[in-house]
Structure 1
Amino acid sequence: MLSHPAEKYRPYPPIALPDRRWPDRQISHAPRWLSTDLRDGNQALAEPMDSAPQTAVLGSAAGVRL
């Protein structure tokens, strides 16, 4: 695995169109890289929870009905 995966990618050259604002903005730094294993959701967090907080979150989510 790469030690700095964001360095693998180069930005696309900008396309200058005068009638737009936010698409002209460029990302200057890489986002925080996290695990993408979403089986229990805990690995996707920047700071994984212990079992007590995770049980509380799952318990409150189980009570919600759509």
Structure 2
Amino acid sequence: MLSHPAEKYRPYPPIALPDRRWPDRQISHAPRWLSTDLRDGNQALAEPMDSGPQTAVLGSAAGVRL
């Protein structure tokens, strides 16, 4: 197994589009990886919420009625 799998790939060469800025941006580091398994609720968050904000989020989610 590779010790640094991100080094396996080379970045694509940038495309010259003078009227736009975002295509010239390149990712310089890996994204922050977090658990996406939300079955355990508050513990899956990067920064767990206290009961006040958690109640507000659950109340607004209940109002959406998915």
Find the aligned partners of 1:25 and 1:47 in 2 and give their Cα distance.
28
Scaled by the length of structure 1, what TM-score is found? Answer: 0.49
Q: Residue 41 of structure 1 aligns with which residue? A: 41
Higher-helix-fraction structure: 2
Let me know the Cα RMSD of the aligned residues: 3.9
**Deviation digits for residues 2-59 of structure 1 (CA, Å, limit 9, x no counterpart):** 9877556542232334443221111222221111213365455221335664344213
> What secondary structure does 2:26 align onto?
coil
1:22 matched to 2:45:
no
**For the structure 1 residues 4 and 43, does the alpha-carbon distance in structure 2 shift closer, same or farther, using more than 3 Å as the test?**
farther
User: In 2, are the aligned partners of 1:36 and 1:44 still within 8 Å (CA)?
Assistant: yes
**Structure 1: gaps of 5 or more residues:** none
**Structure 2: gaps of 5 or more residues:** none
Q: Residue 13 of structure 1 aligns with which residue? A: 13
Scaled by the length of structure 2, what TM-score is found? Answer: 0.49
